[in-house]
Structure 1
Amino acid sequence: MAFLTPERREILFLAYYLGLTQPEIARRLDLPLGTVKSHTRRALRSLSCLVSSRA
């Protein structure tokens, strides 16, 4: 996850390690919900590409 931007890394941490929902993350980070959703989607896509390129 080191190659992700700090903001995307933090969003994934809050979602998958702390179990927060996207609206909760948006409130906690003072970001629009759409921004949280797009950062989540892009971060997961990046991780998926990394995993599939190593397989």
Structure 2
Amino acid sequence: MKIQTGTKEDRTFIREQLIAYNRQHVPEALYEQSEELCFTASNEKGECIGGITAS
């Protein structure tokens, strides 16, 4: 396996595939409901060293 930085096209493809998969398993009434999430990782000095955001 090789992990590398994806392109804009890769990001779009992955997002479209996730949406298609989720629509098969999530009730239609929930399609428009979303929540913004953000988690961060901090070092012992309290400095942000990474994180992830999602909706």
* TM-score normalized with structure 2 length: 0.37
* TM-score normalized with structure 1 length: 0.37
Which one has the bigger strand percentage? Answer: 2
Based on CA coordinates, which of the two structures has the bigger radius of gyration? Answer: 2
Which one has the bigger helix percentage? Answer: 1
Relative contact order, CA 8 A, sep 6+: which one is greater?
Answer: 1
